[in-house]
Amino acid sequence: MKNPHPERPLVFAHRGAKAVAPENTIPAFLKAIEMGADGVELDVQFSADGALVVIHNMTLDETTNGHGRVTAHTLEELKELDAGSWFSPEFGGTRLCTLEEALDAIGDRLLINIEMKSFSMGDDGMAEQVAEIVQRRDLYDQVIVSSFNPFALRRLKKADPRIETGLLYAPDLPIYLSRAWLRPWARPDALHPEYVMVDEAYMRWAQKKGYPVNVWTVNEPEDMRRMIDLGVNIIITDYPDRLLDLLT
């Protein structure tokens, strides 16, 4: 993935500019562009009929007027839902989008972190489908693909080793997902720890191993400043405008 600002951390809008628009929707991505973010982080999971839909939660209840698991509904059914009114009446009628629709809306105006919500140790086909889209659209310089699932990252690298990947982990997850234990096996190009895990010792270790460090989700100015001072590569935040103010 290209870096237009090597002198500073890149600013990625978490699920779009989710503080000012409904998360993981095209309006949120357009708001991120408007704010001047360098990139956007978005989540994909499967519909019942195998479409890659941009949504974070496993269930529909919190961010749409639908109910139940995302994977229990076809794309046609998901497209009928209102994904904006829960946030504000201003966004009433906003629809869920597919990964391809999100990419069309973003164009070449943002770098993109695609997080695969793949929950299977076996081959569910998600890595291969994401790889095919990146290949067909020639997005190698624009995209990094991340996941908490090291098996999914390994499958993606097998499908196309040219695609940049990042291993997500956090301290409150099961032990095998709370550290980079499976890093040598998953073969990520970058590490995506929750920001609370990152300190000077962590940065020295990551730099020695040759890994860029891309942190999430950093919303408070004091935490943003600490990550800037530590020299992380990407900061993912709900408030890209707040972070950009600190960087200018």
- Active-site choice (14, 67, 73, 192): 14
pLDDT of residue 244: 98
Residue 78 is assigned to a structural domain of this protein: no
Strands 111-116, 52-54: parallel, antiparallel or unpaired by DSSP? unpaired
Query: For the chain, how many structural domains are there in total?
Result: 1
Residue 169 is assigned to a structural domain of this protein: yes
Catalytic residue flag (residue 14): yes
Q: Are 243 and 235 in contact (CB under 8 A)?
A: yes
Tell me the C-alpha to C-alpha distance, in Å, between residue 148 and each of 35, 38, 183, 192, 247: 28, 23, 11, 9, 29
pLDDT of residue 183: 86
Tell me which residue range forms the domain holding 237: 10-44+113-246
Residue 206 is assigned to a structural domain of this protein: yes
Q: What is the DSSP string of 205-237?
A: HHHHHT--BEEB---SHHHHHHHHHHT-SEEEE
Q: Please state the pTM of the whole predicted model.
A: 0.97
**Mean pLDDT over residues 89-101, rounded?**
99
- Active-site choice (5, 56, 73, 192): 56
Nearest to 243 by CA among 40, 35, 41, 25: 35
If one counts every other C-beta atom within 10 angstroms of the C-beta of residue 27, the result is 19
Residue 97 is assigned to a structural domain of this protein: no
Residue 67 is assigned to a structural domain of this protein: no
Catalytic residue flag (residue 56): yes
Each residue's pLDDT tens digit, 112-166:
999 999 988 888 999 999 999 999 999 999 999 999 999 999 999 999 999 999 9
Each residue's pLDDT tens digit, 214-237:
999 999 999 999 999 999 999 999
| H helices, E strands: number in the chain | 9, 9
Residue 92 is assigned to a structural domain of this protein: no
Q: What's the CA gap between 209 and 34, in Å, rounded?
A: 36
What CATH number did the domain enclosing 171 receive? 3.20.20.190
Q: What are phi and psi of 203, to 5 degrees?
A: -65, -40
Residue 50 is assigned to a structural domain of this protein: no
